[in-house]
């Protein structure tokens, strides 16, 4: 039998703090949330065990869950490709055409990402205000519109403004990711392509894009996961006293917003926890699907 | 090694014993340390601090410790404190928007029962239902918050022919008369001048003036009876074109206070300072005030509640009685902050609230609020745990009216019912 000496215990002791913190602040809350989802609990009185009733209500009796899921996916489907396309385009342009001003342009384009969501929400409320917003003033002034649009008052325009906000806020982060990826591509490949007579577009399509596939996979999967967890921006954009939850007709009420209002506004922690687990199932499914698709794409190229 | 640890332990025990022994032999001549009264609220102004200092001078055995918590965060802060076993305040501010759900938490001490003993006979009667939970617990007093109608004198003179408050009041005996006059104003101004800036302002008036509950017997929706008159008025005003399309309390709507295209606004006693004067700081003399059609109404308000788990309930109720239910406290509220007090006896003397306001052309707003509004409010709508959700459902309906969508009031009420039932399966039509 091996003696348990202090030397063999040391590595375990060194990694113990991480695991303690992980158990306390990650694993335990996740497991306890599941326990709460099986109860009827308002957060401070006694928990009442009700089994799977919250899940039955969530999946069979609550249209707001599916509505919020639809809203979330709708915003994601339009905002993520735009963020990725814009981020990639800017990364490539900065690398190929704006070498001298690259650092300052990088910073300027990254600023929206680090701007606090509260400020962004107020900014977009003012920009897209029906009566005095800058956007309406510009569009009417340029005769693109005859009448100003009530951007924050219709379901379709509320979604459009939210998508624009997300693209504006997040493309800078994508750009940074792609810049990092571009820096790993050897210049010799581009030189060889030039010698073979390839133009810029051909180099981009046949060298840059395939070489960026690992980064693209990472960006796409993290975008999907973060997209499904969308909360801050639509919440702050439609937080005024005259707005319903999630904006006009609840058009941008996301799943996390639905969970937040159920748990922290209506003090129904049991049902809110069930919504959180419902979202977990959806995120798991989409992550699995994206990884399978991206890996399949990689395998077929081999 | 063992004896070394024993010696250290002995020294530590001896040191602790000496410090306790030293403490007990001190003479009992020092005054007892003042007890803290922990208040959670959002007003940290100099005037509030002045009030606290006055209370501490009158009751030196207490001092006030405030923690600033915004009104929209109070629910969560209290719930987090209770769930985690952390300390709760001795006094928590409960704003009207969140009152229903905070009352439903059932965490409040009954301030009218021993040992707190607030005498409800001293409180303005109309306030009692607003300060009592569904289970009959009296939570605590509040500064009466009541609403009337402010107007821009120059626009009233130009488009209605007069800026005299008595004549204007006589012009609008009902909301129907208000709508008809609004059509005349619209025509006279070539479609440029509106009676009100926002349909949500119409909601504020009519919601405050009606008292039919939105939910009865805990689960029965009553929106057909309660919401229909409110939505109908908003719809009629929109159809007549006399109300503009601003969103309530938006930056854009705030700028309308200084323009020349919107005449009337809801105006609570606290709106004078926090809304009218704030949005139109150079508007002294430009404003007037009238009691609106259908009379004045409760508008906002913040109840001071003592949680059951508060540590210093006696201190808390002493403070509340001093600040809200004593003549000394009422004078401070009146003179320092322009607020009213809920003490019933004050309103027998029509000189107690008697102050002309040059901002409103010298009108005696305090007297109007005290004698023409406060004294006449009866039986307001009680707080309910679904109030916030009902407000959100109203927002959906009002937004549809505001966009000019092809809707009718009955469909909007059905939409509100559907929405509430989806989020709260226990509710029924």
B371 near A CB under 8 A: no
- For B101, which residue in chain A has the nearest alpha carbon? A266
B101 near A CB under 8 A: yes
**Residue A52 within any structural domain of the chain:** no
Quick check: B10 pLDDT over 90? Answer: no
Chain A residues whose beta carbon lies within 8 Å of the beta carbon of residue B107: 44
Facing A131 at nearest CB: one of B252, B399, B403: B252
**Residue A23 within any structural domain of the chain:** no
Distances (CA, A) of A136 to A159, B114, B241, B403: 17, 61, 21, 16
User: CB–CB of B399 and A62 under 8 A?
Assistant: no
At residue A300, the pLDDT reads 53
3-state SS record for chain B? CHHHHHHHHHHHHHHHHHHHHHHHCCCCCCCCCCEEEEEEECCCCHHHHHHHHHHHHHCCCEEEEEEECCHHHHHHHHHHHHHHCCCCCCEEEEEHHHHHHHHHCCCECCCCCCCCCCCHHHECHHHHHHHECCCCCECCCECCCEEEEEEEHHHHHHHHCCCCHHHHHHHCCCHHHHHHHHHHHHHHCCCCCEEECCHHHHHHHHHHHCCCCCEECCCEECHHHHCHHHHHHHHHHHHHCCECCCCCCCHHHHHHHHCCCEEEEEEECCHHHHHHHHHCCCCCCCEEEECCCCCCEECCCEEEECECCCCCHHHHHHHHHHHHCCHHHHHHHHHHHCCCCCEHHHHHCCCCCCCCEHHHCCECHHHHHHHHHHHHCCCCCCCCCCHHHHHHHHHHHHHHHHCCCCCCHHHHHHHHHHHHHHHCCCCEC
At residue A170, the pLDDT reads 95
Q: In this structure, are residues B403 and A154 in contact, taking their beta carbons and an 8 Å threshold? A: yes
- The number of distinct structural domains making up chain A is 1
| Residues 399-418 in B contacting A (C-alpha not used; CB under 8 Å) | 399, 402-403
Chain B residues whose beta carbon lies within 8 Å of the beta carbon of residue A266: 101, 389, 423-424
pLDDT in tens, A56-82: 999 999 999 999 999 999 999 999 999
pLDDT in tens, A21-70: 999 999 999 999 999 999 999 887 889 999 999 999 999 999 999 999 99
Q: Grade residue B26 by pLDDT with cuts at 50, 70 and 90.
A: very low
Q: Which range, of A154-158, B7-11, B156-160, averages the lowest pLDDT?
A: B7-11
User: CB–CB of A267 and B82 under 8 A?
Assistant: no
Q: In this structure, what are the phi and psi dihedrals at residue A81, rounded to the nearest 5 degrees?
A: -60, -40
B107 near A CB under 8 A: yes
Q: Grade residue A4 by pLDDT with cuts at 50, 70 and 90.
A: low
B245 near A CB under 8 A: yes
Q: In this structure, are residues A139 and A54 in contact, taking their beta carbons and an 8 Å threshold? A: no
Quick check: B379 pLDDT over 50? Answer: yes
Measure the CA–CA gap between A295 and A302, rounded to whole angstroms: 11
User: CB–CB of A130 and B245 under 8 A?
Assistant: yes
Give chain B's mean pLDDT.
91
- Average pLDDT over every residue of A256-272: 92
Q: What is the C-alpha R_g of chain A?
A: 24
According to DSSP, the β-strands at A39-40 and A48-49 are antiparallel
Q: How far is B276 from chain A (nearest CA, A)?
A: 18
Q: How far is A109 from chain B (nearest CA, A)?
A: 28
pLDDT in tens, B48-74: 899 999 999 999 999 999 999 998 899
Distances (CA, A) of A153 to A157, A253, A298, B2: 7, 14, 44, 78
**Residue A288 within any structural domain of the chain:** yes
Facing A61 at nearest CB: one of B246, B251, B425: B425
Q: Which domain holds residue A129?
A: 69-264+272-301
Facing B396 at nearest CB: one of A126, A240, A249: A249
According to DSSP, the β-strands at B35-41 and B91-95 are parallel
pLDDT in tens, A203-225: 899 999 999 999 999 999 999 99
Measure the CA–CA gap between A122 and A119, rounded to whole angstroms: 5
Quick check: B30 pLDDT over 50? Answer: no
Give chain A's mean pLDDT.
90
Q: In this structure, are residues B309 and B108 in contact, taking their beta carbons and an 8 Å threshold? A: no
pLDDT in tens, A231-263: 999 999 998 888 998 999 999 999 999 999 999
At residue B426, the pLDDT reads 93
Chain B interface mutation, best of A43, A44, A241, highest count of B Cβ atoms under 10 Å: A44
Chain A interface mutation, best of B423, B424, B426, B427, highest count of A Cβ atoms under 10 Å: B423
Facing A44 at nearest CB: one of B79, B101, B247: B79
Chain A residues whose beta carbon lies within 8 Å of the beta carbon of residue B396: 244, 248-250
User: Residue A38: which H helix or E strand, with range?
Assistant: none
Between these two residues, B289 and B19, which has the higher pLDDT value?
B289
Q: Is A49 helix (H, G, I), strand (E, B) or coil?
A: strand
Buried b (16+ CB within 10 A) or exposed e, A66-102: ebbbebbbebbebbbebbbebbbebbbebbeeeeeee
| Closest residue by Cα to residue A57 from A231, A283, A273 | A273
Buried b (16+ CB within 10 A) or exposed e, A265-274: bbbbbbbbbb
B247 near A CB under 8 A: yes
Q: In this structure, are residues A246 and A71 in contact, taking their beta carbons and an 8 Å threshold? A: yes
Measure the CA–CA gap between A129 and B351, rounded to whole angstroms: 46
DSSP assignment letter at A145 = -
- For B249, which residue in chain A has the nearest alpha carbon? A241
Facing A64 at nearest CB: one of B75, B388, B423: B423
- For B393, which residue in chain A has the nearest alpha carbon? A244
- For A41, which residue in chain B has the nearest alpha carbon? B83
Q: Grade residue B238 by pLDDT with cuts at 50, 70 and 90.
A: very high
Chain A residue set in contact with B, beta carbons under 8 Å = 42-44, 57, 61-64, 125-126, 129-133, 150, 152-154, 240-245, 248-250, 262, 264-267
CATH 3.40.190.10 fits B35-144+300-348, yes or no: yes
- Average pLDDT over every residue of B392-411: 94
- For A46, which residue in chain B has the nearest alpha carbon? B83
Q: What is the C-alpha R_g of chain B?
A: 26
At residue B8, the pLDDT reads 55
Dihedral angle computed from the Cα positions of residues B407, B413, B414 and B419, in that order, rounded to the nearest 10 degrees: 110
pLDDT in tens, B240-255: 999 999 998 888 899 9
Q: Grade residue B84 by pLDDT with cuts at 50, 70 and 90.
A: confident
Chain B residues whose beta carbon lies within 8 Å of the beta carbon of residue A153: 399, 402-403
pLDDT in tens, B388-400: 999 999 999 999 9
Measure the CA–CA gap between B134 and B219, rounded to whole angstroms: 13
The pTM of this model reads 0.87
- For A126, which residue in chain B has the nearest alpha carbon? B251
Chain A residues whose beta carbon lies within 8 Å of the beta carbon of residue B403: 150, 153-154, 248
Q: Is A26 exposed, middle or buried (0-12, 13-18, 19+ CB in 10 A)?
A: exposed
Chain B interface mutation, best of A131, A261, A269, highest count of B Cβ atoms under 10 Å: A131
Which own/partner contact pairs does A277-282 have at CB distance under 8 Å and 24+ positions apart? Answer: A277/A33, A277/A34, A277/A37, A277/A55, A278/A55, A278/A58, A278/A59, A278/A65, A279/A228, A279/A229, A279/A255, A282/A69, A282/A228, A282/A255
In chain B, which residues fall in CATH 3.40.190.10? 35-144+300-348, 146-299+378-423
ipTM for the predicted complex comes to 0.83
User: CB–CB of A125 and B251 under 8 A?
Assistant: yes
- Residues A249, A251, A254, CA angle at the centre, nearest 5°? 125
Q: In this structure, are residues B131 and B103 in contact, taking their beta carbons and an 8 Å threshold? A: no
Chain A interface mutation, best of B422, B425, B426, B427, highest count of A Cβ atoms under 10 Å: B422
User: CB–CB of A240 and B248 under 8 A?
Assistant: yes
Q: Grade residue B25 by pLDDT with cuts at 50, 70 and 90.
A: very low
B1 near A CB under 8 A: no
- Average pLDDT over every residue of B268-279: 93
Facing B252 at nearest CB: one of A61, A129, A243: A129
Q: Grade residue B24 by pLDDT with cuts at 50, 70 and 90.
A: very low
Facing A240 at nearest CB: one of B250, B423, B424: B250
Q: In this structure, what are the phi and psi dihedrals at residue A299, rounded to the nearest 5 degrees?
A: -65, -40
At residue B333, the pLDDT reads 93
Chains A–B, number of C-beta pairs less than 8 Å apart? 86
- For A122, which residue in chain B has the nearest alpha carbon? B251
Between these two residues, B46 and B165, which has the higher pLDDT value?
B165
pLDDT in tens, B311-326: 999 999 999 999 999 9
CB atoms within 10 A of CB B149: 24
At residue B9, the pLDDT reads 55
Q: Dihedral sign, CA of B255, B260, B261, B267?
A: positive
Q: Which range, of B72-76, B118-122, B167-171, averages the lowest pLDDT?
A: B72-76
Q: Which CATH architecture is the domain B146-299+378-423 placed in?
A: 3-Layer(aba) Sandwich (3.40)
Which CATH number covers residue A179? 1.10.3720.10
Quick check: B15 pLDDT over 80? Answer: no
At residue B28, the pLDDT reads 39
Q: How far is B50 from chain A (nearest CA, A)?
A: 32
**Residue A56 within any structural domain of the chain:** no
- For A266, which residue in chain B has the nearest alpha carbon? B101
Measure the CA–CA gap between B90 and B82, rounded to whole angstroms: 13
Q: How far is B265 from chain A (nearest CA, A)?
A: 16
At residue B38, the pLDDT reads 97
């Amino acid at each position: 039998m091996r003696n348990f000496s202090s030397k063999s215990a040391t590595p375990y002791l060194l990694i113990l703090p991480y695991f303690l913190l992980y158990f306390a602040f990650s694993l335990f809350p996740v497991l306890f949330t599941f326990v709460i989802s099986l109860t009827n609990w308002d957060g401070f009185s006694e928990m009442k065990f009700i089994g799977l009733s919250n899940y039955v209500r969530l999946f069979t009796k609550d249209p707001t869950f599916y509505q919020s899921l639809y809203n979330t996916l709708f915003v994601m489907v339009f905002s993520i490709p735009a963020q990725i396309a814009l981020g990639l385009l800017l990364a490539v342009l900065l690398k190929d055409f704006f070498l001298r001003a690259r650092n300052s342009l990088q910073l300027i384009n990254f600023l929206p990402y680090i701007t606090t969501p509260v400020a962004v929400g107020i900014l977009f409320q003012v920009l897209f205000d029906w009566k005095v917003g800058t956007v309406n003033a510009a569009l009417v002034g340029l005769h693109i519109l005859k009448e100003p649009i009530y951007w924050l008052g219709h379901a379709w325009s509320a979604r459009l403004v939210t998508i624009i906000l997300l693209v504006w806020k997040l493309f800078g982060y994508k750009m940074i990711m792609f810049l990092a990826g571009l820096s790993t591509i050897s210049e010799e490949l581009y030189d060889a392509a030039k010698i073979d007579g390839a133009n810029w577009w051909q180099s981009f399509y046949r060298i840059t894009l395939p070489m960026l596939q690992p980064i693209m996979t990472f960006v796409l999967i993290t975008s999907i996961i973060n997209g499904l967890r969308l909360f801050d921006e639509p919440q702050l954009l439609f937080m005024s006293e005259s707005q319903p939850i999630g904006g006009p007709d609840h058009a941008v009420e996301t799943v996390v917003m639905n969970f937040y209002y159920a748990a922290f506004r209506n003090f129904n922690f049991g049902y809110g926890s069930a919504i959180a687990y419902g979202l977990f199932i959806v995120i798991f499914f989409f992550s699995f699907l994206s990884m399978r698709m991206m890996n399949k794409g990689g395998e077929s190229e081999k | 090694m063992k004896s070394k640890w024993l010696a250290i332990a002995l020294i530590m025990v001896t040191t602790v014993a000496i410090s306790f022994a030293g403490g007990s032999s001190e003479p009992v001549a020092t005054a007892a340390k003042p007890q803290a009264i922990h208040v959670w609220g959002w007003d940290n102004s100099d005037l509030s601090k002045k009030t606290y200092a006055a209370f501490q001078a009158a009751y030196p055995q207490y001092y006030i410790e405030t923690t600033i918590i915004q009104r929209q965060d109070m629910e969560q802060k209290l719930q987090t404190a209770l769930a985690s076993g952390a300390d709760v305040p001795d006094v928590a501010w409960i704003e009207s928007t969140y009152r229903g759900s905070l009352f439903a938490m059932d965490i409040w001490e009954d301030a009218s029962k021993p040992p707190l003993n607030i005498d409800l006979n001293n409180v303005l009667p109309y306030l009692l239902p607003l300060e009592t939970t569904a289970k009959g617990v009296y939570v605590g007093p509040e500064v009466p918050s009541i609403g009337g109608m402010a107007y821009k004198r120059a626009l009233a003179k130009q488009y209605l022919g007069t800026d005299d408050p008595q004549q204007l009041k006589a012009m609008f005996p009902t909301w129907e008369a208000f709508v008809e006059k609004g059509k005349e104003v619209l025509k006279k101004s070539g479609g440029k001048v509106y009676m009100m800036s926002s349909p949500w302002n119409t909601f504020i008036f009519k919601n405050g003036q009606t008292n039919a509950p939105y939910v009865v017997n805990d689960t029965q929706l009553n929106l057909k009876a309660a919401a229909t008159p409110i939505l109908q008025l908003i719809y009629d005003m929109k159809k007549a074109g006399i109300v503009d399309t601003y969103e309530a309390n938006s930056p854009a709507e705030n700028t309308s206070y200084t323009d020349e295209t919107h005449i009337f606004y809801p105006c609570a006693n606290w709106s004078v300072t926090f809304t009218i004067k704030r949005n139109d700081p150079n508007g002294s003399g430009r404003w007037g005030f009238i009691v609106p059609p259908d009379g004045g109404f409760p508008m906002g308000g913040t109840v001071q509640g003592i949680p059951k788990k508060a540590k210093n309930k006696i201190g808390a109720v002493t403070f509340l009685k001093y600040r809200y239910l004593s003549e000394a406290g009422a004078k401070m509220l009146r003179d320092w902050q322009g607020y009213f007090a809920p003490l019933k006896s004050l309103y027998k003397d029509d000189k107690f609230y008697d102050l002309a306001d040059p901002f409103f052309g010298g009108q005696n707003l305090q007297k109007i609020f005290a004698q023409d509004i406060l004294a006449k409010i009866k039986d307001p709508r009680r707080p309910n745990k679904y109030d916030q959700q009902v407000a959100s459902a109203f927002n959906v309906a009002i937004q549809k009216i505001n966009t000019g969508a092809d809707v009718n009031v009955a469909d909007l009420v059905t939409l509100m019912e559907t929405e509430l039932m989806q989020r709260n399966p226990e509710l029924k039509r």
